[in-house]
Amino acid sequence: MYLFFDCETGGIGPDYSLLTCYLLVADKTFNVVEDLYLYLKPDDGIYKVCGSALNVNRIDLKVHDTKAITYKEGGTKLYNFIKTYSKEGSDKLTVVGHNVAFDRDCVVQNLVNRKTWDNFCSYRMRDTSVTAGYLIDCDILPEQSASLGSLSKYFNVSVDENQQHDAKYDVNLTLAVYKALVNEGSKRWLKLI
């Protein structure tokens, strides 16, 4: 099973607040099994954000705070969610995202500890940005940005730029791009056989 996920934060770096986290479990053929959308706030209720980040992700803190749950509550929901789809110690979820290490670090800093995450999620993550960069270096993809928007456009995945930088929207783009990357790789391997 795959775990696609994305986070939106109040800035770049570990000192800024984790604001949203969207997770989607998909089977090996990329059919969506279940999802979880967490609107989050620090346990003490004090947000650390910068204006430029909120400008990018378009999160209105006043509105956000009315539906956000604490990190502690979010951590419990996340734990129950990943536990449902993974067997501790074996058959772990394969984590997929775009610049996914940053998002994983946000989750383990604020919601569940690293040991808990590693019990249910494989350390062998799939990152669409890294994969695309490799394929660009191999001259399989044309020289371009490996941004999620650029990859979406290359693979003819419809992009609404007004929706980008919403965790749920970006996860769905990542899922579509990852499927396209897998299909591209499959076609190349079949030619070699």
Please state, rounded to an integer, the average pLDDT across all residues of the chain. Answer: 89
Task: Kindly state the average pLDDT of the residues 78-89.
Answer: 86
CB 81 within 8 A of CB 107: no
Rounded (5°) CA angle 164-40-79 = 105
CB 52 within 8 A of CB 25: no
Model confidence band, residue 147 (pLDDT cutoffs 50, 70, 90): confident
Token duo for residue 45: 């209720």
CB 67 within 8 A of CB 50: no
Q: What are phi and psi of 86, to 5 degrees?
A: -140, 145
* Chain segment 18-71, per-residue pLDDT in tens: 999 999 999 999 999 999 999 999 999 999 999 988 888 899 999 999 999 999
Picking from 131, 77, 106, 121, the residue whose alpha carbon sits closest to that of residue 16 is 106
| Percentage of the chain modeled with pLDDT above 70 | 93
Domain count, the chain: 1
Report the phi/psi class of residue 30: left, alpha or beta, with left for phi > 0 and alpha for psi in -120 to 50: left
Model confidence band, residue 122 (pLDDT cutoffs 50, 70, 90): very high
Model confidence band, residue 186 (pLDDT cutoffs 50, 70, 90): low
Whether 190 has a pLDDT exceeding 90, the answer reads no
147 compared with 100, residue with greater pLDDT: 100
Token duo for residue 161: 């730029």
> Range of 22's domain?
2-192
Cα distance between residue 169 and residue 190, in whole Å? 32
CATH code where residue 37 lies: 3.30.420.10
Chain centroid to CA 49: how far? 20
Cα distance between residue 60 and residue 62, in whole Å? 6
* Chain segment 157-173, per-residue pLDDT in tens: 887 777 767 899 999 99
Whether 128 has a pLDDT exceeding 60, the answer reads yes
**3-class DSSP assignment, residue 6:** strand
Task: Kindly state the average pLDDT of the residues 153-159.
Answer: 84
Q: What are phi and psi of 35, to 5 degrees?
A: -135, 170
